[in-house]
């Protein structure tokens, strides 16, 4: 178990809280593994009806811990990351997310697989995959163009432009933008409690029906993205981009033209 994932259990509700604030909740393989284990167990646990995923009132997650990630075996997107992605993708019960502060990389793309997303005004969403010499992941290359159109998705995925909670809500990535982290968590918890009052199997069947169209296509896209992402981790472009990020300098891609 990782001390960086706090697991809170209440009747019907499981809360997974990322808790690595000294590293802006950067996700390690161990953190992914624990979240995957908790989701898989909750999927089969009749006492759990809803899952709430959150960070702190000032930080959701800055994405992958790059040092931990670069040391991982090159198995596609990485075993633990893939386990988490599959666990959330296959989760049959409603998932609510409360986002405050940075939501970078998978901090944004995981939200595309949650059922309710609430974000504070201080939230900042960003998917800097191409900026790091990588490629989109977790179905974002399929979901985002369909959600907001090709042009806007290109700004977010190709140019790695950041966006706000209000924009996330207007594009359908989030349900609502709220005043601050405390209000955001309170709203997410209120929604989770409302779900607990509903017929659980009716909720699960309805979720399955809403997510059914294009699901197998999305599954294949996630697989292809993961394979390409893993391959690009050892690509010279990614090595240069990540080295530049660590050294706080501008990457030099001139030799790759």
- Render pLDDT for 5-53 as a digit per residue (tens, 0 to 9): 999 999 999 999 999 999 999 999 999 999 999 999 999 999 999 999 9
Cα distances from 222 to residues 5, 26, 183, 187, in angstroms, run 25, 22, 33, 30
Could you report the per-residue pLDDT of 140-184, keeping only the tens digit for each? 999 999 999 999 999 999 999 999 999 999 999 999 999 999 999
> How many angstroms separate the CA atoms of 120 and 101, rounded?
7
Could you report the per-residue pLDDT of 44-92, keeping only the tens digit for each? 999 999 999 999 999 999 999 988 876 765 554 568 999 999 999 999 9
- Residue 77, pLDDT score: 56
pTM for the full predicted model: 0.96
In contact, 15 and 54? CB cutoff 8 Å: yes
Could you report the per-residue pLDDT of 88-145, keeping only the tens digit for each? 999 999 999 999 999 999 999 999 999 999 999 999 999 999 999 999 999 999 999 9
Which region among 111-125, 191-205, 231-245 has the lowest average model confidence (pLDDT)?
Answer: 231-245
> How many angstroms separate the CA atoms of 19 and 57, rounded?
11
> How many angstroms separate the CA atoms of 101 and 20, rounded?
14
Q: In what order do the strands lie in the sheet with 48-54?
A: 5-10, 12-18, 48-54, 95-99, 116-120, 176-178
In contact, 251 and 241? CB cutoff 8 Å: yes
- Residue 1, pLDDT score: 64
Longest dimension (CA), the chain: 59
Q: Residue 164 burial (CB < 10 Å; 0-12/13-18/19+)?
A: middle
Which helix H or strand E contains 66, and what residues bound it? Answer: helix 66-70
Cα distances from 155 to residues 111, 145, 168, 237, 243, in angstroms, run 18, 10, 14, 20, 24
């Amino acid at each position: 178990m990782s001390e960086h994932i706090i697991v809170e259990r209440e009747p019907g509700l499981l809360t997974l809280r990322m808790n690595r604030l000294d590293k802006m909740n950067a996700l390690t393989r161990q953190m992914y593994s624990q979240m995957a284990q908790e989701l898989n167990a909750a999927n089969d646990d009749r006492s759990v009806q809803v899952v709430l995923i959150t960070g702190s009132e000032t930080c959701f997650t800055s994405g992958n811990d790059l040092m931990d990630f670069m040391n991982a075996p090159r198995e596609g997107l990485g075993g633990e990351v893939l386990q988490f992605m599959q666990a959330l993708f296959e989760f049959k019960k409603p998932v609510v997310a409360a986002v405050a502060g940075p939501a970078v990389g998978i901090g944004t793309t995981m939200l595309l697989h949650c059922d309710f997303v609430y974000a504070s005004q201080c939230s900042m969403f960003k998917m800097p995959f191409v900026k790091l010499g990588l490629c989109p992941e977790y179905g974002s290359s399929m979901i985002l163009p369909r959600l907001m159109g090709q042009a806007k998705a290109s700004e977010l995925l190709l140019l790695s432009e950041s966006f706000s909670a209000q924009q996330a809500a207007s594009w359908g990535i989030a349900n609502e933008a709220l005043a601050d982290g405390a209000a955001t968590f309170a709203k997410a918890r209120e929604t989770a409690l409302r779900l607990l009052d509903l017929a659980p199997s009716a909720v699960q069947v309805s979720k399955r029906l809403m997510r059914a169209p294009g699901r197998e296509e999305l599954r294949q896209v996630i697989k292809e993205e993961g394979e390409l992402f893993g391959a690009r981790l050892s690509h010279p472009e990614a090595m240069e981009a990540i080295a530049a990020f660590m050294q706080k300098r501008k990457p030099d891609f001139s030799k790759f033209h």
